[in-house]
Amino acid sequence: MSRRYVSLWFRHLLTDWLTLRQPELKDVPFVLVAPEKNRLIVKATNRLTEQYGISTGMAAADARAVVPGLQVLNAEPGKAEEILKKAAAWCIRYSPLISIDGDGLILDISGCTHLWGSEHDYLKSLVKTLLAKGYDVRGAMADTVGLAWAIARYGKHKPIIETHEHQNALLPLPPEALRIEPETIDLLYKLGFFNIKQIIGHERSALRRRFGNNFLLRLHQALGNVDEPLQYIHPVEPYHVRLPFLEPIRTAEVIEMRIKDLLDMLCERLTAEGMGLRKAVLKGYRVDGKVIEAVIGTNKPSNNAAHLLKLFALKIPGIEPALGIELFTLDAFKVEEVEHKQENLWLAEGSDESTDALAGLLDRVGNKIGAQNIHRYLPQASYWPERSLKPALSLAEQPDMDWNNGRPRPSLLLKYPQRIEVMALLPDEPPRHFIWKGKKHIIKKADDAERIEPEWWQHPERHNHRDYYMIEDEKGGRYWVFRSGHHEGEGTRWYLHGFFA
């Protein structure tokens, strides 16, 4: 399939933008100026000033002489590019591949137009909507960027150029339609070349000697003989699907149906390539111009559309369609290879012995409360409690050793032991009460002490041990506390190290 491009030319971009914010300027001739070589030069005009012959590049003083009541306003540096970036963000409804091109936009629309019925309906919808927003815009469609650009600015008849009409559409256009330097344009006119038809028949070597390499490059780009790379505002992720709507959608039921359609399209490709997603981002483009997002993540790569839909279903209550959503895009930002057993992965869901079922459960919980709130730990070779475990890098990581199944350990272990004040009547007995964070806890039950000593190579000094007690206070709270060192030493201290469920 050949590439198709649309060029959008915003004829009065800056003045249209300012008029939308200051409606009182609508029927007033005004220009935007900026200093240049100790003079104020016109950088933008509105439609009224153009009727008086005012154009960009003219001195502001000359413009005032032509139009006595002309309003002269200061141009804001960088504003045109800022407006075009916002316009490109809006135009993503029509194509994911958009590039800024001077005073306009270039859209790669290959494979997009059928969603509007035809190329004519596509271009009509795009231009008509931008005109309704208050921008004086012209659009053209062709097989090359150069020809679409030229027809948008200099074409006088059909805005859509078919492939077989390519060269014929270019020939009657003036030399400036080739996007060449002003000096070259002046030279062409001086030599009597008033359209491209008069130029194209000459020898290539003669044209290069007379007008330079850039002239030939632009000519061949417009004809489609040389590819023209574009720098897109929103580069498309390798795994990207999009679904525009002829009528905006608003209800949760329809939103879920459309997300399912997107996932079916994405997972079909992932399955064919043996890949599964780990992170996906859904974007909804609303009628009011706002973009809403929903992000999901998985513990294992998955291309199971039904499972992924369950994860997105958790996000649907947070999607605010307002006046309606015009376009959904879905990007798999992180993908990995899946194991061959992926096709039967979710059949075992519900079995406690299934790692894959656990991954599915963690996906649903993680996307509801946040994956950052779920942690998995593996045993580590150390007697010291805070060093006896380590975070797992993935769900598939296997432990190097078995867990210690001796005395019970708290369900919540503090990262660092916290100092407490205690009262203990007899040596080697648990405390009768302890004070933590200003609150007193009276002990009702306690187990015998468990002495834990560190590895001698970690702490070579003697008597560096802890006596741990599992205790319960009068309100039923269960704690893991320890005494550091021997009870008769002056340096004896008590610490709280964890909580039991």
Quick one: what percent of the chain has pLDDT higher than 70? 88
pTM of the model: 0.62
Q: Which of 283, 312, 339 is the last residue of a domain?
A: 339
Quick check: is 40 in a domain?
no
Return the CA Rg of the chain: 35
Average pLDDT for the chain: 86
| Contact present, 91 and 126 (Cβ < 8 Å) | yes
C-alpha 95/C-alpha 335 separation (Å) is 24
Quick check: is 14 in a domain?
no
Quick check: is 318 in a domain?
yes
Residue 213 pLDDT exceeds 60? yes
Quick check: is 38 in a domain?
no
| Contact present, 149 and 142 (Cβ < 8 Å) | no
Q: Which of 321, 339, 357 is the last residue of a domain?
A: 339
- What beta strand segments (E) does 173-261 contain? 240-249
| Contact present, 484 and 471 (Cβ < 8 Å) | no
Residue 487 pLDDT exceeds 80? no
Give 122's contacts (C-beta < 8 A, 6+ positions apart).
94, 109, 112, 113, 115, 116
| Contact present, 249 and 258 (Cβ < 8 Å) | yes
Dig out the tokens for 334 from the structure.
Answer: 């992180």
Dig out the tokens for 311 from the structure.
Answer: 């994860």
| Contact present, 346 and 338 (Cβ < 8 Å) | no
| Structure-model confidence comparison of residues 82 and 489, the more confident one | 82
Q: What is the pLDDT of residue 189?
A: 92
Quick check: is 372 in a domain?
no
Q: What is the pLDDT of residue 357?
A: 66
Q: Report the amino acid identity of residue 115.
A: L
Q: What is the pLDDT of residue 118?
A: 92
Count structural domains, the chain: 2
> What is the arithmetic mean of pLDDT over 438-454?
89
| Contact present, 395 and 361 (Cβ < 8 Å) | no
Beta sheet of 71-74, edge-to-edge order: 39-45, 30-36, 71-74
Q: 252 and 333: one domain? A: yes
| Structure-model confidence comparison of residues 244 and 151, the more confident one | 151
User: Range of 448's domain?
Assistant: 412-500
pLDDT digits (tens, 9 = 90+) for 233-282: 877 778 899 998 888 999 999 999 999 999 999 999 999 888 999 899 99
* 376 band by pLDDT with thresholds 50, 70 and 90: confident
Quick check: is 211 in a domain?
no
Q: What is the pLDDT of residue 442?
A: 92
Dig out the tokens for 157 from the structure.
Answer: 């008849």
Q: Report the amino acid identity of residue 106.
A: I
| Contact present, 466 and 482 (Cβ < 8 Å) | yes
Judge residue 203's burial from the number of C-beta atoms within 10 Å of its C-beta, 0-12 exposed, 13-18 middle, 19 or more buried: exposed
Q: What is the pLDDT of residue 486?
A: 64
HSE toward the beta carbon, residue 282, CA cutoff 13 A = 28
C-alpha 432/C-alpha 494 separation (Å) is 12
Q: Which of 339, 367, 388 is the last residue of a domain?
A: 339
Handedness of CA 45, 47, 48, 54 (dihedral sign): positive
C-alpha 134/C-alpha 343 separation (Å) is 52
Residue 365 pLDDT exceeds 80? no
Dig out the tokens for 151 from the structure.
Answer: 């027809």
Which of 137-141, 191-195, 336-340, 438-442 is modeled with the greatest confidence? 137-141
Quick check: is 399 in a domain?
no
* 345 band by pLDDT with thresholds 50, 70 and 90: very low
Dig out the tokens for 113 from the structure.
Answer: 């137009």
Q: What is the pLDDT of residue 353?
A: 45
Question: Which segments of 76-181 does DSSP mark as H helices, in order?
Answer: 79-91, 119-132, 145-154, 166-170
Dig out the tokens for 274 from the structure.
Answer: 């043996």
Quick check: is 469 in a domain?
yes
| Contact present, 333 and 281 (Cβ < 8 Å) | yes
Residue 140: DSSP 8-state: E
Beta bridge pairs of residue 390: 378
Handedness of CA 205, 211, 214, 219 (dihedral sign): negative
Dig out the tokens for 331 from the structure.
Answer: 């990007």
The alpha carbon of 8 is separated from its chain's Cα centroid by a whole number of angstroms, namely: 24
* 180 band by pLDDT with thresholds 50, 70 and 90: very high
Please tell me whether residue 101 adopts helix, strand or coil conformation.
strand
* 478 band by pLDDT with thresholds 50, 70 and 90: very high
Dig out the tokens for 152 from the structure.
Answer: 């948008």
Residue 427 pLDDT exceeds 80? no
- Closest by CA to 480, choosing from 403, 405, 414, is 414
> Would you put residue 91 in left (φ > 0), alpha (ψ -120 to 50) or beta?
alpha
The CA–CA distances, whole Å, from 453 to 43, 278, 464 equal 79, 42, 7
Which of 16-25, 231-240, 412-421 is modeled with the greatest confidence? 16-25
Please tell me whether residue 297 adopts helix, strand or coil conformation.
strand
* 41 band by pLDDT with thresholds 50, 70 and 90: very high
CA angle 5, 17, 178 (to 5 degrees): 35
C-alpha 330/C-alpha 261 separation (Å) is 11
Q: Report the amino acid identity of residue 438.
A: G
pLDDT digits (tens, 9 = 90+) for 83-113: 999 999 899 889 989 999 889 999 999 888 8
Quick one: what percent of the chain has pLDDT higher than 90? 49
Beta bridge pairs of residue 473: 443
CB atoms under 10 Å from CB of 444, counted, come to 11
C-alpha 414/C-alpha 193 separation (Å) is 83
Q: What distance separates the 2 farthest-apart alpha carbons in the chain?
A: 113
